[in-house]
Structure 1
Amino acid sequence: MPILKQMTLFEQVGIASNNSWFSKALEVLGISEKPAWPDDFGDAIIKWNSKNKRKPIRVLSLFSGAGGIDIGFHDAGFQIVECNEIEKNFAATLLENSQANRLLSDSNIICLDIRKYDPEPDNIDFIIGGPPCQTFSAAGARAAGVNGTDDERGNLFKEYVRILKKIKPRGFLFENVYRIVGAQGGKPWKEIRKAFQDVGYKLYWRVIDAADYGVPQFRERLIIVGLKEGTYKFPFPTHGPDSTDQRGYYTAGKAVDGLASKISVFKLGGRHGHLLNDIPPGLNYSFYTEKLGHPKPIFGWRSKFSDYLYKADHGTPVRTIKAQGGQYTGPFHWENRPFTIEELKRLQTFPDNYKIVGNRQNTIHQIGNSVPPQLARILGLSILQQVFDISLPFEIDLMPDSFKLGFRARKRDVTKIYAQKAAQAISCLPKDEVKKKYVGERIGYVRVTDDFQLILSSKSDSADYFIQYTAQNDEWILKLQDIQADKHTIKKYELKIQSNDSLLATQGIKTIKMQSYSNNKRSILALWKYLEKIVKDHCHKDDLVQLFGYYHYRQNYIVNMKLFDDSLMDKPFWKVLSQVSAGNSISKILHIAELSNCYGVPQETLILVLKELKKIGFEIRNDKTNKQISNNMILIPYVFPSLNERSLQRFTEL
């Protein structure tokens, strides 16, 4: 139904539905959509421009990164006069490609903090660039919530405005993540628009998807075009259902075709690497969740980033390539391996002959941080046609303001398709013996290492605690005491976990009690780590986060902590721990003063307690552990100790 409405709109604006401006462009330029065709498209435009000499349109590039926008605008026919980039590795890439006979030859590269940058070039016609977006990004939000303009990096648009005010170009193109529009109730977005308008620019903006413009990657971005005079409309998509001829997407499989035989490939290893093999193309870690019906649900729903163990589907564009990530950050190749750098360049439409300087991790950072050059080419050409009145060898059809792009709506259909793929793949898995509900009792000796690993022992000599675990009816009970404890030692504290639903569906458990006869602070870590072990044994869950869910989402359990030892009740550590365990002021960023008031301890004391909690595995985030968090702000994500031997936060001080 949406497509029929849009086809009517095509007719209303006088565009034939059986052809598109892009089809005409390919025909005129003599381009076929073979692998790496965006390189040919760029070369053909360069060749056409060289035969049709005109006065150079001089461009200043800000926040240039690895040069994604610069490549596109250069190919479209603009002269990139100067590039400003603060990161040395990124600037090294720009410098490499600005050498004689290279793509950005004759561009002046300035590696400098933009706050100290005072551009000198004369007669600049246009400015391009997009400030760092971490404070508005999904990754930043997941790490610490959206700080937006509360973070100094979210205010770098002001430097962009400062330079616009000085240079006074005819217009500019500003790129950023789409989340900026709705972040913090729309306050930053209103502030950004006002700042540009106050220096004399009328704004034209849309959130667009790079896949709609010939990029083999779904990548939503906010694009603002600001003009002193005239008007601007965005070009109609060149690919996908919103293109006027319904041209198919440029797929990941087609983009990387022909490269695998020329380059070495390697497999994904480590703790979760083997899981990639069974994941159907197009899915991620969620394949191994209870929600999608996996018989061994290792992960909790929405407990990981969406690119965790994400395997690309060769028949569609890939999901957004991230600038930074860990060992299991996708996209991974459908042949169960990481993509090579050469393949990632294709997926981002960087030209094959464009050299990106740095090791693999830094190169991926540069690729994922860039605007796809093919998207920039199309935008650059549309600006040439409208803003600078350049007659191209083809005419770009422009979207009316009323035209609604459909990529958001189509996401729901894609979700259904991949859920069906998951169900089909799960139905083909080997039928393991159904795991019976555990009923009984275990006893043993345990200790927890300094890097938060639980060590089991059959002897008391190498242990710190004796532990007894009982499973009965719909309840688990864990009892812990010191190795040297007297048998008449009284209970010190109890943690009681309850859920309205079955907390552990495969075991039918609704209540978990963890009782300690030790007042050692590390006893709390030992209890939670032992619970994590039995959850792994009986329920296949990978860790406590997978059991209880990622902190951003509504939790379906309640934890209560009761102190039985009067001597603990007035001690700041146990007082704060009781509040944390109950979920008070958890999962949100709060000022240290607010936390101090909530927990009823002075700020200086609270800071010491938080450091102690971190030593026993509780994740405590502040500006030292997460750049997205402002000074004097604290985030305690979980009611339980979530750090393990692989956690990088073990090595960061509060």
Structure 2
Amino acid sequence: MPRFLDLFAGAGGLSEGFLRAGYEAVGHVEMDVAACYTLKTRMAYHWLREHDQLDIYNQYLNREISRNQFYDHIPQGVLDSVLNYEISTETLPAIFEEVDALVGEEPLDLIIGGPPCQAYSLAGRSRSETRMVGDQRNYLYRHYAEFLRRYQPAYFVFENVLGLLSAKDEDQTLHFDNMRALFRECGYSTEFRPLNASDYGVLQNRKRIILIGIRGNYEGFYPDIPAIPNQYLVSEVFGDLPAIPAGGGTTEPVPTAHYDGQYLYESGIKEYDTEPVTFHQARPHTDQDLEIYRIVVDTWNKNGTRVSYIDLPANLRTHQNTTSFLDRFKVVAGNLPHAQTIVAHIARDGHYFIHPDIEQNRSITPREAARIQTFPDNYYFESKKGVPSRTLAFKQIGNAVPVCLAYHVATALLDRFDEQN
């Protein structure tokens, strides 16, 4: 099967989709320490599963062994395939040396990944005084190109936000045009499509640019990635999880209830009935926020309408900004076919992601967010020091590529590899 390298890998949503499709991961490069541990643990999970030793993984999740003791059961080469680096001009030589050893004598078939999107996103530009012009994150694609020059994969997959299409450099040229020109200089033809995760088994409205490059001069090579009709509602991600109040729940494994539906199985989120989940822990909220949540959920459940910030009772409006971000309190509506986009801001507060059950009256948990991102229930999100962190889990989940979207891109591209062979 094709071998890939994942750059700017994050917590591994993109990688997980390619692994599920049958690709082999040669290595991952990621700057965030916590995300690197998440990747190590996930690669350890795949190795243990392949060798019929998942009881060791379950011992770790149940805190019967420490993270170091858990890693002692894993071949060092598996753990060392995750490289903790910020990709920069200064670090490239060291990264190349380690990737060279991981790649070995066999060809590297594919490079995947997308640089951090803040510099390209419309939201990021709107919050920046300079509109992100000159921000060094705009130019991370140049480092991506250096990996293409060195390893010459047959294909590459570059993922980013729709704002990439309109982001401009200081000379008013489009970063996207400059990027594609550089990839041409590296010997690659490129084609792209804007894809919405909601068309590919994800109960979330999340639009992304998926650019695919092929080595050589080609046209019309972009694989057909047919959309999947969605017959499910967002409530599918909540139904079998224990009901908990604000501040309730735990990061430790808890069993799920019996599940009569099909979505969680079809999406690969759930593998077997009553499978335990981790990080089903709700953040606490102030009395004021809880009252706002009750109003927001009650209005939605009764009328199917969203509550604008300026429509809240005066005693609950404490923000001075009453002209923008008026939908800052928003329920994740269980009776809709898709939720709003899960973003990294969920690590700061949950106001935009309120649970639809007014009896629970809280924002969603990391596990619920992970399900909306189609991470499997057995996916564990690590911290820097091995102590579970709800905040770091939220951050990793919000920054990730939905696994099901990645899987369908990977499966479609696999057909191209099969044709070449």
Query: What TM-score do you get using the length of structure 1 for normalisation?
Result: 0.46
Pairing 1:545-624 to 2, within 5 Å after superposition: none
* 1:366 equivalenced with 2:407 (yes/no): no
After superposition, what is the alpha-carbon deviation per residue over 1:499-547, rounded to whole angstroms, capped at 9, x for unaligned? xxxxxxxxxxxxxxxxxxxxxxxxxxxxxxxxxxxxxxxxxxxxxxxxx
Q: CA offset at residue 207 of structure 1?
A: 1.3
Q: Structure 1 residues 295 and 333, CA, compared in 2 at 3 Å: closer, same or farther? A: closer
SS at match of 2:404: helix
Aligned to 2:207: 220
Equivalent residue letter for 2:48: N
CA distance in 1 between counterparts of 2:174 and 2:11 reads 30
Confirm or deny: 8 A CA contact 1:71 1:103 kept in the other structure: no
How much has 1:264 moved relative to structure 2?
6.0
1:322 aligned partner:
343
Q: Report deviation, 1:138.
A: 3.4
Which among 349, 354, 375 is matched to residue 332 of structure 1? Answer: 354
Using the alignment, how far apart are the partners of 1:386 and 1:305 within structure 2?
Answer: 46
The answer to whether the Cα contact below 8 Å between 2:160 and 2:208 also exists between their aligned partners in 1 is yes
Alignment of 1:274-423 (within 5 A): 274-279=291-296, 280-281=299-300, 286-289=307-310, 298=317, 302-304=323-325, 306=327, 308-316=328-336, 317-325=338-346, 326-335=348-357, 336-358=361-383, 359-389=389-419
Aligned twin of 1:207: 194
Counterpart of 1:238, as a letter, is I
Q: 2: distance between equivalents of 1:380 and 1:363?
A: 25
Cα RMSD after superposing both structures? 2.7
* Equivalent residue, structure 2, for 1:88: 33
* Matches of 2:356 and 2:152, distance apart in 1: 48
| Residues 444-485 of structure 1: per-residue CA shift (max 9 Å, x gap) | xxxxxxxxxxxxxxxxxxxxxxxxxxxxxxxxxxxxxxxxxx
Question: 1:103 and 1:150 mapped to 2: Cα distance?
Answer: 46
**Aligned counterpart, 1:644:** none
Percent identity of the aligned residues?
28
Instruction: Report the Cα distance in structure 1 between the residues aligned to 2:235 and 2:390, rounded to whole angstroms.
Output: 22
Match of 2:227 among 221, 237, 247: 237
Q: CA deviation at 1:98?
A: 1.6
Equivalent pair of 2:13/2:406 in contact (CA under 8 Å): yes
Q: How big is the shift at 1:327? A: 2.8
Deviations 1:260-288 (A, max 9, x none): 3455656632543311211134766x523
> 1: distance between equivalents of 2:113 and 2:326?
27
| Whole-angstrom distance in 2 between the partners of 1:226 and 1:81 | 19
- Is contact 2:350–2:363 with CA below 8 Å preserved after alignment? no
Contact 1:137 1:179 in 2 (8 A): yes
1:208 and 1:221 in contact (8 A); partners too: yes
> How far did 1:205 drift?
0.5
Note if contact 1:323-1:368 (Cα within 8 Å) is conserved in structure 2. yes
The answer on whether the counterparts of 1:215 and 1:374 sit within 8 Å (CA) in structure 2 is yes
Displacement, 1:113? 1.7
Are residues 175 and 289 of structure 1, via their aligned partners in 2, closer, same or farther at CA, if it must alter by over 3 Å? same
Higher RCO (C-alpha under 8 Å, 6+ residues apart): 2
Instruction: Give the Cα–Cα distance (whole angstroms) in 2 for the partners of residues 219 and 386 of structure 1.
Output: 26
Contact 1:273/1:328 (<8 A) preserved: no
Quick one: distance in 2 between partners of 1:199 and 1:270? Answer: 57
Letter in 2 for 1:82: G
C-alpha distance 272-295 of structure 1, shift in aligned 2 (>3 A): closer
1:595-622 CA deviation, whole Å, 9 max, x = no partner? Answer: xxxxxxxxxxxxxxxxxxxxxxxxxxxx
Runs (5+) with no aligned partner, structure 1: 1-55, 240-246, 392-654
Give secondary structure in 1 for the equivalent of 2:419: coil
The alpha carbon displacement at 1:103 in A equals 8.4
Partner of 1:112: 85
Alignment counterpart, residue 156 of structure 1, candidates 111, 132, 140: 140
Runs of 4+ residues over 6 Å off in structure 1: none
1:197 positional shift: 1.5
What is the rounded CA distance, in whole Å, between the counterparts of 1:348 and 1:146 in structure 2? 31
- Whether the 8 Å CA contact 2:290–2:362 is kept in 1: the answer is no
Alignment of 1:476-491 (within 5 A): none
Contact residue 177 and residue 220 of structure 1 kept, 8 A: yes
In structure 2, relative to structure 1, the CA distance for the partners of 1:272 and 1:303 (3 Å cut) is: farther
Encode CA deviations 1:552-591: one digit per residue, 9 max, x unaligned.
xxxxxxxxxxxxxxxxxxxxxxxxxxxxxxxxxxxxxxxx
How has the CA–CA distance of structure 1 residues 197 and 270 changed in structure 2, closer, same or farther, with 3 Å as cutoff?
A: farther
Any residues of structure 2 matched to 1:2-21 within 5 Å, and which? none
* Contact 1:136–1:147 (8 Å) recurs in 2: no
Higher alpha-carbon Rg: 1
TM-score (norm 2): 0.70
SS of the counterpart of 1:114? coil
From 123, 136, 153, give the equivalent of 1:139. 123
1:101 correspondence with 2:62: no
Counting matched residue pairs gives 323
Where does residue 251 of structure 1 map in the other structure? 233
